[in-house]
């Protein structure tokens, strides 16, 4: 029994490690006299990195604890993305926190705990795990959004995020209860078995719709996107960077897993829902961003649009589709974090500036920063040979594969509309007369992150194989685990 338990515990070692590290860091933060934020910060970064390594090396293909979680390559792939997003945004947060005098030890601890929740989300194999993981990350994120508690906008963002997030969680939970009521099981395998037995699935379908709606809120897909611009604008910028990276990936991964695994038999039904979510998100993301002057709001609409593009892959409902989503998320994570790094470098006379007009003429005053941001913008617009193009390439390939020509054509046209506001930023930086220069240096913490993400974005097309192959493996195992 003990050996059995030890084996089971070993399979979820990354989660255990994160839980212990989170509590240890919290204790350290409380008990170390003086300013502990420095130690806690690096401790959090180190423990996240270690968790990522543990996730990579620990064995996959197990479903411990009676199938509550499923440790599989798909989960591992997404865990690595989530951890990478958390680490990079934490590193970028450091300089910001010091300058905004919000250098407290709680933020890194919250990020560690949120990452633990996301680990559970991406590996969930049971409605209970799903909900516990989701709430764990959400509660941590609500606090993060309101972290600058002396700033009105930040507090407002936290409150808004909390109230709307609670509604979404309620919907999700209601969906879970319906599914449980009609299938008699909370485990994904049980739901699959019920659906396979051919019982009347209407109740389960309604439950699945509620679950999808709850998750659509988390990935800010239209029509559940309303919170995004306000929260993105109000939250402290590095926290927004974190929001747009890790939780988005985790929620998207969870949505993919839930729809592809337990509700696979209902694919004809949920495909239509995802279709509409995708079209709405792509359209609103592209059109809504055009009028924005604040770059954080603009990025919020951009993230809505990107969620739509990722959903195109999911709408395909095939292995190629999951592959496309995985590749898209990975690439989006990299270029998104790079963009946020550039936004964090936008400070003038010691305060952050957020209007896109502040970028005017950046190519003269800071050519390197302008070049990096231009790379990210062209990449987000999906112009080859930058990485963003390949993200779109694979989701659309999957959509064509599944015969979704209408969706593909709408998608590519919306990407052109979206290109307008991305290249408008390039226009501001390169064509317009310079505004005042930003403070220099941009910061020791930002420069490496921006440089690495920019190099990856530009050079991805030279060595696409590692990412494509691991995403392929992840998708194959997820889909293969489903179809008997």
Partner 1 sequence: MSQWPLLSLAIFLPLIGAAFVLLTRGDNEEAVARNTRYVALWTSFVVLVVVLLIWAAFDTTTAEFQFVERAPWIPAFGIEFHLGIDGISLFLIVLTAFLVPVCILCSWDSIRTRVREYMIAFLVMESFIIGVFCALDFVLFYLFFEAMLIPMFLIIGIWGGPRRIYSAFKFFLYTLVGSVLLLVAVLTMYFETGTTSIPDLMTWGFEEELQRWLWLAMFASFAVKVPMWPFHTWLPDAHVEAPTAGSVILAGILLKMGAYGFLRFSLPMLPEASVYFAPLVYSLSIVAIIYTSLVALMQEDMKKLIAYSSVAHMGFVTIGLFSMNQQGIEGGLFQMLSHGVVSAALFLVVGVVYDRMHSRLIATYGGLVHRMPRYALVFMVFMLASVGLPGTSGFVGEFLVLVGAFQANTWVAFLATTGIVLGAAYMLWLYRRVVFGELVKAELKSISDCNRREMLFFVPLVAAVLIMGIWPESLLDAMHVSVVNLVEQTAGANEAASFAMRADR
**What does the binding site for partner 1 look like in residue numbers (CB under 8 A)?**
363, 378, 383-385, 389, 393, 396-397, 400-401, 405, 408-409, 412-413, 415-416, 419-420, 423-424, 426-427, 430-431, 461, 464-465, 468-469, 472
Token pair 């054509």 is found at: 409
41/77 with CB nearer partner 1: 77
296/472 with CB nearer partner 1: 472
273/371 with CB nearer partner 1: 371
Distance in angstroms (rounded) separating the CA atoms of residues 437 and 420: 25
Structure tokens at 390: 């390949």
For residue 348, the SS3 value is strand
Residues in the chain: 484
38/424 with CB nearer partner 1: 424
For residue 203, the SS3 value is helix
231/458 with CB nearer partner 1: 458
42/461 with CB nearer partner 1: 461
CB 336 → partner 1: shortest distance, Å? 20
CB 322 within 8 A of CB 303: no
For residue 362, the SS3 value is helix
Q: How far is CA 17 from the centre of its chain?
A: 22
Cα dist from 128 to 41, 51, 149, 425, 441, whole Å: 31, 23, 32, 44, 48
159/451 with CB nearer partner 1: 451
CB 319 → partner 1: shortest distance, Å? 12
Helices (DSSP H) in 261-344: which residue ranges?
267-290, 295-316, 319-344
CB 379 → partner 1: shortest distance, Å? 11
CB 14 → partner 1: shortest distance, Å? 28
CB 252 within 8 A of CB 188: no
CB 301 → partner 1: shortest distance, Å? 18
265/383 with CB nearer partner 1: 383
CB 460 → partner 1: shortest distance, Å? 11
CB 253 → partner 1: shortest distance, Å? 21
CB 180 → partner 1: shortest distance, Å? 39
**210-239 exposure pattern, b = at least 16 Cβ within 10 A, e = fewer:** bbbbbbbbbbbbbebbebbbbbbbbbbbbb
Distance in angstroms (rounded) separating the CA atoms of residues 248 and 330: 11
Structure tokens at 31: 């008990």
Q: State the DSSP code for 432.
A: S
For residue 444, the SS3 value is coil
67/464 with CB nearer partner 1: 464
Distance in angstroms (rounded) separating the CA atoms of residues 330 and 84: 10
What lies within 8 Å, CB to CB, of 162 at 6+ separation is 142, 145
CB 472 → partner 1: shortest distance, Å? 6
268/465 with CB nearer partner 1: 465
Q: State the DSSP code for 355.
A: B
CB 244 → partner 1: shortest distance, Å? 24
Peptide bond just before 385 cis, omega within 30 deg? yes
Distance in angstroms (rounded) separating the CA atoms of residues 212 and 218: 10
Helix axes 73-99, 37-57, angle to 10 degrees: 170
């Amino acid at each position: 029994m003990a050996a059995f338990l030890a084996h089971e515990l070993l399979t979820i070692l990354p989660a255990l490690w994160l839980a212990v590290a989170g509590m240890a860091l919290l204790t350290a933060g409380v008990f170390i006299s003086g300013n502990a934020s420095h130690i806690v910060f690096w401790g959090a970064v180190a423990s996240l990195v270690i968790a990522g390594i543990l996730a990579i090396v620990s064995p996959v293909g197990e479903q411990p604890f009676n199938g509550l979680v499923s440790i599989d390559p798909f989960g591992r792939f997404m865990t690595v993305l989530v951890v990478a997003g958390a680490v990079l945004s934490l590193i970028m947060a450091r300089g910001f926190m010091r300058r905004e005098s919000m250098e407290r030890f709680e933020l890194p601890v919250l990020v560690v705990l949120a990452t633990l929740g996301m680990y559970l989300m991406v590996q969930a194999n049971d409605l209970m795990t799903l909900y516990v993981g989701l709430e764990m990350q959400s509660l941590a994120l609500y606090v993060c959004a309101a972290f600058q508690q002396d700033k009105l906008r930040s507090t407002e963002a936290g409150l808004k995020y909390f109230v709307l997030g609670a509604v979404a969680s309620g919907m999700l939970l209601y969906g879970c209860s319906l599914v449980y009521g009609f299938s008699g099981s909370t485990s994904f395998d049980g739901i699959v078995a019920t659906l396979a037995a051919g019982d009347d699935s209407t109740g389960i379908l309604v439950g699945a719709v509620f679950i999808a709606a709850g998750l659509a809120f988390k990935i800010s897909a239209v029509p559940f996107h309303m919170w995004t611009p306000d929260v993105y604008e109000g939250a402290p910028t590095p926290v927004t960077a974190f929001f747009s990276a890790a939780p988005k990936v985790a929620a998207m991964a969870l949505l993919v897993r839930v729809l592809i695994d337990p509700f696979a038999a209902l694919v004809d039904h949920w495909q239509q829902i995802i279709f509409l979510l995708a079209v709405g998100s792509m359209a609103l993301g592209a059109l809504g961003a055009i009028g924005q002057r604040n770059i954080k709001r603009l990025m919020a609409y951009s993230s809505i649009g990107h969620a739509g593009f990722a959903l195109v892959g999911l709408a395909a409902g095939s292995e190629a589709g999951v592959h496309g989503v995985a590749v898209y998320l990975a690439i989006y994570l990299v270029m998104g974090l790079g963009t946020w790094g550039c936004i964090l470098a936008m400070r003038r006379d010691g305060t952050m500036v957020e209007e896109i007009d502040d970028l005017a003429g950046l190519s003269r005053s800071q050519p390197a920063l302008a070049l990096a941001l231009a790379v990210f913008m062209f990449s987000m617009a999906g112009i080859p040979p930058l990485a963003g193009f390949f993200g779109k390439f694979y989701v659309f390939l999957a959509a064509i594969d599944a015969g979704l020509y209408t969706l593909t054509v709408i998608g590519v046209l919306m990407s052109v509309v979206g290109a307008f506001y991305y290249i408008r930023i390039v226009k501001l930086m390169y064509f317009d007369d310079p505004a005042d220069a930003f403070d220099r240096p941009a910061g020791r913490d930002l420069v490496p992150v921006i440089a690495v993400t920019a190099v990856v974005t530009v050079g991805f097309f030279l060595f696409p194989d590692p990412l494509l192959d691991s995403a392929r493996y992840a998708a194959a195992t997820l889909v293969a685990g489903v179809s008997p």
